[in-house]
């Protein structure tokens, strides 16, 4: 494909208009929207995209989750999820779930804060008494909690269908996905970014850093071009799938959590997906779950439940990479022409991906951002965190 950035037929295999580094949900979304403007090559370090975070997500879409900037991105993404482009998927991407957040002992102030925050969501939170909460989730233990907040707009997300839809759309527009392409050198030369990987050399005038937990490591490779690391922190999040006892059918229950966010239990695959909502800093890598974290998740749920979960099967952990202010970084780097960031999405990557990808594509190509997102741009720019104090000596 001949793109607006000048890639011409017959050039080297690695030449492109845009190089996207990272094949998780962020990189896939960026590549999908950028493919409308030129040839995209997506470089994924692993054998398959989405191995460390996207494929290990709890898969919840929640407009009640995150700070105001994250929530605005999520709200802007709902339209894509509810009415995706023709050919993007053959199944619904969102399924109603709802979340029941409990006021447990000592969390009255947090309950009130969540109630105020949730009142501004497109589908506002509803305060419930114990009786009504038990109607929604009969497994709750009477007396173990006080009030409850119901978040009716929260939905399950088909993460795989979304991720594959982005990748499929990228390829359909003439782009390509290269796996096993871990980047080991990155430099800018004669107006193009030259990227050396384990499977060959690639070049493009624009490179997008969507490398997730490795985003700061990629930035350090481009230090000679003026790029600086932003102080991103990968954090471990643990999950476990437990079988419900005595044939209890949890499929219609909402996700259950406490307002202090110390646990959640979400119906999944005929059982319950549990997490202690751990947020432990970890170096980038293939993260493994720890038995103590799994036991903590089970214990915290059992404190508010009549169920005793004795059969915990599959356990895993993934990485959620956050900025110091827990707001994603989206946009062009002010110190390095053609270097773009789509990083630090934390636990919000799935729910914000359509909006974040579209915004990144607009900023990377010099086009006007979607109207619903234009006001967010100053708060998302790399410049807000960018500086020598974030870089290692």
Average pLDDT value for residue range 274-295? 95
> How do residues 154-196 score in pLDDT, each as one tens digit?
999 999 999 999 999 999 999 999 999 999 999 999 999 999 9
Indicate the length of the chain as a whole number: 393
Confidence at 14, pLDDT banded by 50, 70, 90: low
> What is the DSSP track for 145-185?
-S-EEEETT-EEE-HHHHHHHHHHHHHHTT-EEE-S--EEE
Tell me the C-alpha distance between 369 and 367, whole Å. Answer: 6
Check pLDDT > 60 for residue 389: no
Contact between residue 201 and residue 195 where contact means Cβ atoms under 8 Å apart:
yes
Q: Which helix (H) or strand (E) holds 238?
A: strand 233-242
Structure tokens at 83: 């009415």
The mean pLDDT of 257-286, rounded to a whole number, is: 95
Average pLDDT over residues 119-138: 96
Q: Is 222 or 313 the better-scoring residue by pLDDT? A: 222
Q: How far is CA 105 from CA 62, 112, 145, 146, 260, in A?
A: 25, 13, 7, 8, 10
Q: Do residues 103 and 133 lie in contact, with contact meaning Cβ atoms separated by under 8 Å?
A: no
- Encoded tokens for 135: 């109607």
Residue 390's pLDDT is what?
A: 52
- pLDDT above 70: residue 13: no
Answer whether 21's CB lies under 8 Å from 218's CB: yes
The pTM of this model reads: 0.93
322 confidence band (pLDDT: 50, 70, 90): very high
Of 49-58, 242-251, 281-290, 345-354, give the lowest mean pLDDT range: 49-58
Burial class (CB in 10 A: 0-12, 13-18, 19+), 361: buried
Residue 79, pLDDT above cutoff 80: yes
Determine the pLDDT at residue 57. 78
According to the CATH classification, is domain 99-152+233-322 in 3.30.9.10? Answer: yes
**Structure confidence at residue 54 (pLDDT):** 75
Confidence of residue 1 (pLDDT cuts 50, 70, 90): very low
Fold adopted by 18-55+159-231+325-387: FAD/NAD(P)-binding domain (3.50.50)
- Assign 77 to helix, strand or coil: helix
For residue 211, give both structure tokens: 């490398």
Q: What is the mean pLDDT of the chain?
A: 92
Q: What is the mean pLDDT of residues 227-241?
A: 95
Gap between the Cα atoms of 193 and 206, Å rounded:
7
Query: 269 or 297, which is more confident?
Result: 297
Confidence label for 393 from pLDDT (cuts 50, 70 and 90): very low
135 pLDDT band, cuts 50/70/90, is: very high
Ramachandran assignment for 364, one of left (phi > 0), alpha (psi -120 to 50 degrees), beta (any other)? alpha
Domain ranges of the chain: 18-55+159-231+325-387, 99-152+233-322
Q: Which backbone phi and psi does 206 adopt, to 5 degrees?
A: -130, 130
């Amino acid at each position: 494909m001949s793109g607006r950035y000048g890639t011409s037929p017959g050039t080297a295999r690695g030449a492109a208009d845009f190089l996207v580094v990272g094949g998780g949900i962020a990189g896939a979304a960026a590549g999908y929207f950028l493919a409308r403007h030129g040839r995209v090559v997506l470089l994924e370090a692993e054998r398959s995209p989405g191995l460390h975070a996207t494929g290990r997500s709890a898969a919840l879409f929640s407009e009640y989750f995150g700070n105001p900037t994250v929530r605005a991105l999520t709200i802007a993404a709902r339209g894509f999820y509810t009415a995706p482009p023709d050919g993007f998927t053959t199944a619904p991407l969102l399924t109603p779930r709802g979340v029941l957040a409990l006021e447990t002992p000592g969390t009255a102030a947090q309950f009130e804060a969540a109630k105020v925050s949730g009142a501004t969501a497109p589908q506002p939170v509803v305060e419930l008494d114990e009786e009504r909460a038990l109607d929604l989730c009969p497994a709750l233990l009477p007396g173990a909690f006080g009030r409850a907040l119901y978040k009716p707009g929260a939905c399950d997300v088909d993460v795989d269908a979304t991720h594959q839809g982005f990748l499929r759309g990228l390829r359909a527009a003439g782009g390509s996905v290269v796996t096993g392409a871990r980047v080991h050198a990155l430099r800018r030369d004669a107006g193009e970014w030259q990227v050396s990987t384990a499977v060959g050399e690639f070049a493009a005038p624009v490179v997008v850093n969507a490398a997730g937990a490795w985003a700061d490591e990629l930035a350090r490779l481009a230090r000679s071009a003026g790029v600086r690391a932003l102080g991103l922190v990968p954090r471990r999040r643990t999950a476990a799938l437990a079988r419900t006892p005595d044939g209890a059918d949890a499929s219609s229950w909402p996700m259950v959590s406490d307002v202090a966010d110390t646990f959640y239990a979400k119906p999944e695959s005929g059982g319950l997906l549990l997490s202690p909502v751990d947020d432990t800093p970890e170096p980038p890598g293939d993260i493994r779950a720890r038995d103590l974290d799994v036991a903590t998740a089970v214990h915290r749920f059992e404190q508010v439940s009549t169920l005793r979960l004795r059969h915990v099967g599959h356990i895993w952990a993934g990485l959620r990479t956050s900025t110091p202010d827990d707001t994603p970084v989206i946009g062009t780097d002010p110190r390095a022409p053609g270097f773009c960031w789509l990083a630090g999405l934390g636990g919000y990557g799935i729910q914000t991906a359509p909006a974040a990808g579209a915004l990144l594509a607009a900023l990377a190509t010099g086009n006007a951002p979607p109207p619903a997102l234009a006001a967010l741009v100053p708060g998302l720019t790399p410049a807000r965190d960018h500086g020598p104090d974030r870089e290692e000596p």
